Amino acid sequence: MRAPLAFLLLASACESTSPSDTGPADDTMDDAWWDATSLVLVAPRSGAFLPLGEAAPFEAHVLDASGADSGFEAITWSSSVDPAWTATGTVFQDASLPVGSHDITATARLPNGDRLATTAGGILVQSPYAGTYAGTVALSTTITWGDTPYTATCAGSATMAVTREGTAVNGSATCLLSVLTYELDVVLAVDADNDAGTLDGTVSADLTMYAIDLPASGTVTEEGVLVLDFAGEVPGFATFDGAIEATRITRDVEAGS
């Protein structure tokens, strides 16, 4: 007996609307499937600069043979600088890395027992103000000899450093000051604190015959521009007024700074 036409049409409709297979089912993702996967570290990239204390993106994925995301999420992260720093996940943000030059490694231990790992090296974490600065110093002094004031000026070079934590500024500057019949090698030593770009401290001036500490204040920007003004006097004898202007030439800072 032939099947009723309505029954045949219903069976055909059920077959045509069955869900299609869009990828490997869990039971087909065997060892051979995982053997073809790879791990890519998207962020941070090697040589990246991460401002200290600011959230930075981290991203890595296990890809299948076609280059598509496998959906594997158990990726662990580690740092060469701080063994206590760890994280888990494919995409996240973190602001807790300490100061240093980090090698960041992402690791995936796959269901087939394989271990995939990839590393981004030379990732610098420090204050956005930190670095070595180079520039100039200008100094003006008026010395009263008897009842007569004599004014002299000099200009020279300056080298400054903002510590990796960004909290302190130190450095030196020199210039040759000609006053009366003397030529004085002026050596200036800078010691200042940085509070979110505002500088406050002292410039110690060594003028061969005597030394004086001059109050100093100024600014430093995250873009790497430093300006420091200083002034003071030896009562009844001399006044001093000067400025240091410098720009960052590298984010590198000498060890210990």
Distance in angstroms (rounded) separating the CA atoms of residues 67 and 25:
17
Number of domains in the chain: 2
**Greater pLDDT, 4 or 55:** 55
Q: How much is the pLDDT for 255?
A: 52
Give tens-digit pLDDT for 80-114. 999 999 999 999 999 999 999 999 999 999 999 99
| 50 & 116 share domain | yes
Contacts of 6 (CB under 8 A, 6+ apart): none
| 194 & 142 share domain | yes
Residue 106 belongs to domain spanning: 34-126
**Greater pLDDT, 18 or 217:** 217
pLDDT exceeds cutoff 80 at 254: no
| 104 & 157 share domain | no
Query: How much of the chain, in percent, has pLDDT values that exceed 90?
Result: 72
State the average pLDDT over residues 116-140. Answer: 97
Give the domain CATH number at 185. Answer: 2.40.128.110
3-state secondary structure of 33: helix
**Final residue of a domain: which of 86, 111, 126?**
126
DSSP 3-state percent helix, strand, coil across the chain (nearest 5) = 10, 60, 35
| 56 & 161 share domain | no
Structure tokens at 211: 């030394």
- Confidence band (pLDDT; 50, 70, 90) for 140? very high
State the average pLDDT over residues 133-143. Answer: 94
End-to-end CA distance of the chain: 96
| 137 & 113 share domain | no
Distance in angstroms (rounded) separating the CA atoms of residues 191 and 214:
11
Q: Which residue has the tokens 């202007």?
A: 245
| 169 & 198 share domain | yes
Q: Is residue 246 part of a domain?
A: yes
Give the domain CATH number at 112. Answer: 2.60.40.10
Highest mean pLDDT among 15-24, 200-209, 242-251: 242-251
CB 228 within 8 A of CB 190: yes
| 198 & 229 share domain | yes
pTM: 0.81
Q: Is residue 26 part of a domain?
A: no
CB 242 within 8 A of CB 203: yes
Q: Is residue 24 part of a domain?
A: no
Query: How much of the chain, in percent, has pLDDT values that exceed 70?
Result: 87
**Final residue of a domain: which of 126, 150, 168?**
126
| 106 & 145 share domain | no
| 50 & 91 share domain | yes
Give tens-digit pLDDT for 14-60. 343 333 333 344 445 688 889 999 999 999 999 999 999 999 999 99
Distance in angstroms (rounded) separating the CA atoms of residues 99 and 255:
12
Q: Is residue 106 part of a domain?
A: yes
| 93 & 53 share domain | yes
